[in-house]
Chains A and B, each alone.
Chain A
């Protein structure tokens, strides 16, 4: 199984801050890596697919990069509605696996 490790597990940031979340895979996943945002009581929402492609309707302040084993999700200017938990997910091979999540909290 491909293990996905996210860091940090949580962070505190202020509105307007630039935020970076990292995701490391235990083996190469090429660009089969996706990012989701989840708010309490809601289903995950797709933000970034194939490592760097922005899902339709997602604000351009979200961006993704990386390939192979190391990936990043960047929020260029944190907005109040961005406080949530973020998950990476690999779809290179089954079992499809998720990172443990990064909770972004208000500073």
Chain B
């Protein structure tokens, strides 16, 4: 049974960098699949941020690409998100999730973490 668990500070100051980690259990990241970050501002909809493969290949939402850095640590079976120069608009619940490639596109997000609320405030 695959489980994903986000961790990181719940409060970040404006202009600083938001850093989150997603620990994966029950499945080896190195075995395949792609690993994503998705966020949801309070009371609003879902926004895909970016995806990483265990090889380090990355895919970004261009609206955030200039501020996003993804990394993967296969030895710890986890992957991470850094979002720089945050503002109040980055306040959201951040989810990590698993998906895959299919044909010329992608598959569904079939496993999600529980989410972690990050508030940007001084």
Q: Which residues of A contact B112 (CB under 8 A)?
A: 43-45
Q: Which residues of A contact B63 (CB under 8 A)?
A: 95
The answer to whether A20 has its CB under 8 Å from any CB of chain B is: no
Q: Which residues of B contact A93 (CB under 8 A)?
A: 105
CB distance from B22 to the nearest CB of A (A): 12
**Interface flags, B44-83, vs A, CB<8A=1, else 0:** 0111100000000001111100000000000000000000
Chain A positions 50-107 with a Cβ under 8 Å from a chain B Cβ = 50, 55, 87, 89, 91-101
CB distance from A35 to the nearest CB of B (A): 9
**How many residues of B sit at the interface, in one of the four size bands?**
20 to 34
| Residue contact B47 to A98, C-beta cutoff 8 Å | yes
**Residue among A44, A49, A96 with most chain B CB within 10 A:** A96
| Residue contact A91 to B45, C-beta cutoff 8 Å | no
Alpha-carbon gap, A42 to B59, bound state (A): 26
| Residue contact A46 to B109, C-beta cutoff 8 Å | yes
The answer to whether A24 has its CB under 8 Å from any CB of chain B is: no
The answer to whether B8 has its CB under 8 Å from any CB of chain A is: no
**Interface flags, B15-38, vs A, CB<8A=1, else 0:** 000000000000000000000100
| Residue contact B109 to A94, C-beta cutoff 8 Å | no
Instruction: State which of A44, A49, A55, A95 has its C-beta within 8 Å of the C-beta of B61.
Output: A95
Instruction: State which of B48, B105, B108 has its C-beta within 8 Å of the C-beta of A95.
Output: B48
CB distance from B83 to the nearest CB of A (A): 16
Instruction: State which of A30, A89, A94, A101 has its C-beta within 8 Å of the C-beta of B108.
Output: A89
| Residue contact A44 to B109, C-beta cutoff 8 Å | yes
Alpha-carbon gap, A45 to B46, bound state (A): 13
| B interface, CB within 8 angstroms of A | 36, 45-48, 59-63, 95, 99, 102, 105-110, 112-115
- Extra pairs beyond A43-B114, A50-B108, A98-B46 (4, CB < 8 Å): A34-B108, A44-B109, A46-B109, A94-B106
Residue pairs across A and B with Cβ atoms less than 8 A apart, 20 shown, are: A30-B105, A43-B113, A43-B114, A44-B95, A44-B109, A49-B108, A87-B45, A89-B109, A91-B99, A91-B105, A91-B107, A94-B60, A94-B106, A95-B61, A95-B63, A96-B36, A98-B46, A99-B45, A100-B45, A101-B45
